[in-house]
Amino acid sequence: MGARREDGGGGNDPRFYTPDDPVAVKQENELLAYEVRFLRARLKKLGDFSVPSARGDEARMREAENDLVLVVRRISRTPAAPILRRIRQYRTLESRYLDPNRDLNLSPQARRAQLEQAARDMRRLMALMSKSPVAPILRRNRNFRTLEKRYL
């Protein structure tokens, strides 16, 4: 073991702590590695649960709208589509998200309201599909499971 100086340094520069004992170095290294893992996990947790920025929130809503368009378009191509079109809520989704004449050049406030509506519609649709009798069949599809995790 090396001699320790009163200022805590064991090396040449008195401004830095340099342990001379290999066991102490190993323990300190393990402690620092643990602290880094802890701080990274905490940072990740704070990133997930912090108040989202308006831009990030809008990006998630835009993603929900895109997912909803894809799901409704895919449903509209199935053999069950004529039966589903008898349901008013499904016709509303088709007209709202598959209409080629729908206006996407709205004011920022109107566009945000439209995106919020799309996010709500997507959550509702996924909840209905997850509770339906065909849900076990749908869950065989990886994309459906991904959407279920994302919106439920």
End-to-end CA distance of the chain: 59
> What integer pLDDT is reported at residue 13 of this predicted model?
67
Positive or negative CA dihedral for 38, 40, 43, 47? negative
Q: What is the pLDDT of residues 56-109, one digit of tens each?
A: 788 899 999 999 999 999 999 999 999 999 999 999 999 999 988 887 788 888
> What integer pLDDT is reported at residue 122 of this predicted model?
95
Distance set, CA 22 to CA 10, 27, 72 (Å): 12, 9, 64
Give all strands (DSSP E) within 54-131, no chain letters: none
- Locate 66 and state its tokens: 């895109």
Whose structure tokens read 């040449």? 12
Q: What percent of the chain clears pLDDT 70, i.e. is strictly above it?
A: 81
- Locate 77 and state its tokens: 């191509």
User: How does DSSP classify residue 118?
Assistant: H
Q: State the Cα–Cα distance between residues 85 and 77, nearest whole angstrom.
A: 12
Name which of 62, 71, 65, 60 is nearest 129 in CA terms. Answer: 71
pTM tops 0.85, yes or no: no
Positive or negative CA dihedral for 44, 45, 51, 56? positive
The overall average pLDDT reported for the chain is: 83
